[in-house]
Chains A and B, each alone.
Chain A
Amino acid sequence: MALHCGRACRQYLLHLAHDNVDFRLPVRTVNLQFTQTFSPFWQLNGLSEDDIRSVMSRTVCGKSAFELWGHGTTIDELRTSLLEYPAENMAPYLQQNSTYKINVYTFNKTLVFKDRIEKIDALDFLPFKGTVNLKDPEHIFCLLEDYGSDPNDIPEEPFHMYFGRWIADGQRELIRSYSVKKRHFIGNTSMDAGLSFIMANHAKVKADDLVYDPFVGTGSLLVACSRFGAYVCGTDIDYNTIHGIGKASRKNQKWRGPDENIRANLRQYGTESLYVDVMVSDASKTVWRKNAQFDAIVTDPPYGIRESTRRTGSHKDIIKPPEDFSGESHVPVSMAYHLSDIFADLLNFAAHHLVLGGRLVYWLPIYRPEYCEEMVPLHPCLTLTNNCEQTLSSHTSRRLITMEKIKEPEDSDRLAHLADPRFTPYQGHNSFREKYFCGLTKKNGKDSKATPKNKD
């Protein structure tokens, strides 16, 4: 455990927020080694301080990062570990003419002030030579204690103790500053800020990328991507949402105001210069030329629950145009866009219109009782890199899928689904709507059959 090598081999501790636990993913997953997946403390090896800073500059899951100087399951183990840490690694931060402070952080326990001071005093075997400055210290150190994850059974002593030098905080502030509650233009299914940033991170969106969302809605995902410096564009079949007109989604508001559209959202956060375009378009009928390529495709396709799944084209079971049909511009008759086709089309689109190495990140709705990993759609040109679940109810969840383009499509790929059933459209999900509502009525104890408002 003693570290003899240079800076590149140091250990770091990531303190993570205790939400969206399944979605934690540093931008680079190199040599991750952690005690428990659900622990809020992750020890990382094989990264440099620059790597850590780069991760913390984007993550909304990471609260803080520290250069780990010692750890243990008891105070004695911690002390031993700290005494073994090379003095020359500590020295630059303990200089006589520097200022510092020590914080104490306890997970799953509240300590009174007196106890915190006692714990800090117990560390005085460390060669601190500088002066304490609580307001604006040059160096911040932290003692972190993990009291487990059961709020009803808090132990007297912590399970784990860590001591390290604070390096950087994460971007959790973005969850508050980009909150949908304060956003100018929202819709029924606007993605919450935290998840939008997680999606942008899974897609590895970076400055000067060109990002596309084929089901853009109110542009929440584009807002997050623009925060990381990417140029953004999107399309949606719904004329009113793209133009920002029609009925408002806010509780006390009837109609949308003049400044409510995707461009206005980017303007709100100072990223209007990264707005490329939005268009009214049917995702099943691509408008992009061959070799038009995006660095990332980040999207939340409709599940058919709160927004209907639609496509243009005639069908014998014609669905009437939406109530807020503006009349000024023709909104073609919609027909049902089966969920299985949405994902097959999306993967195929990504295979053709992503740069090599580019990523597709999207939500896949799942009926939990029937879920198995084989249901996740595949494509010969894309490799599945992440699959994270967010539970929505006892019988439904959605999975954040990340795929990376590994090769350009060839003609033979169109026939791939005949060889391997995993390439066939996501079966059984057409009835996701029915299962969703069926599950609800069963739960309520009613014996009426599910009657969704418009048929899928």
Chain B
Amino acid sequence: MKLLTHNMLTSHVKGVIKGYPLIIKATEVKVNELEFNGQFVSRMIPKLEWSALIQAAGWLGQSQDLPSTLIPDYENDEEFLRKVHRILLEVEVIEGCLQCPESGREFPISKGVPNMLLNEDE
């Protein structure tokens, strides 16, 4: 699971109000080297919940001194965009789980794939 996806996921456990962001508990993390695409990163940044992204990067030990609030004029800061590209797309949680911050319910991640299914009674 990549942090771009994680940034958009929320807990859908019945009755939960503050289900975002899901807490990441990773037991295996992989970093792939991908070709840098600044265009895509610039397009995605406005759609992200920035503080959730920084928090997630922290859980995975990948903070890389990214700012806690978005800098203005980021489109022209290639160094910044490269860092964002890395945490959005290159860092992957292979094994672990996502935990609902309110109910504590855990969604397993196996082989990089989160299983978000709830049981019939949830």
Contact = CB atoms under 8 A, between A and B. Distances in A.
B40 to A, nearest CB: 4
A330 interface: yes
B51 to A, nearest CB: 13
Chain A binding surface SS class: loop
A289 B10 CA distance: 5
B117 A277 contact: no
Contacts of B5: 233, 276-277, 279
A196 interface: no
A71 to B, nearest CB: 42
A312 interface: yes
Contacts of B10: 287-290
A239 B43 CA distance: 31
Given A289-B20, A312-B120, A314-B121, A279 B115 contact: yes
A47 B111 CA distance: 48
Contacts of A210: 44
A60 to B, nearest CB: 25
A329 B120 contact: no
Given A287-B10, A293-B47, A278 B113 contact: yes
Contacts of A293: 47
A31 B117 CA distance: 48
Contacts of B119: 312, 330, 332
Nearest to A287: B116
Contacts of A144: none
B117 A332 contact: yes
B92 to A, nearest CB: 9
A313 interface: yes
B8 interface: yes
Contacts of A281: 116-117
Nearest to B115: A280
B117 A330 contact: yes
Contacts of B114: 277, 279-280
Contact of A231 (B20, B40, B115): B40
Interface residues of A, number: 35
A280 B35 contact: no
A281 B1 CA distance: 14
Given A280-B117, A331-B117, A208 B111 contact: no
A333 interface: yes
A278 B8 CA distance: 13
Interface string B41-71: 0011001010000000000000000000000
Contacts of A207: 39
A262 B35 CA distance: 20
B86 interface: no
B105 interface: no
Given A208-B37, A210-B44, A243-B111, A289 B8 contact: yes
Contacts of A446: none
A292 B118 CA distance: 21
B9 interface: yes
Given A208-B40, A276-B5, A332-B120, A239 B34 contact: no
Interface in B1-42: 1-2, 4-5, 8-10, 12, 20, 34-35, 37, 39-40
Given A210-B44, A285-B12, A289-B20, A276 B117 contact: no
Given A208-B39, A276-B89, A329-B110, A282 B2 contact: no
Contacts of B110: 243, 329
The 3 A-B pairs at the shortest CB distance, nearest first, are namely A292-B8, A289-B10, A314-B120
Given A237-B117, A282-B118, A288-B9, 8 more contacts: A243-B113, A277-B1, A282-B116, A287-B12, A292-B9, A293-B47, A330-B117, A332-B119
Interface of A: 207-208, 210, 231, 233, 235, 237, 239, 242-243, 273, 276-282, 285-293, 312-314, 329-333
8 contacts: A207-B39, A208-B37, A277-B5, A279-B1, A280-B116, A289-B10, A312-B117, A332-B119
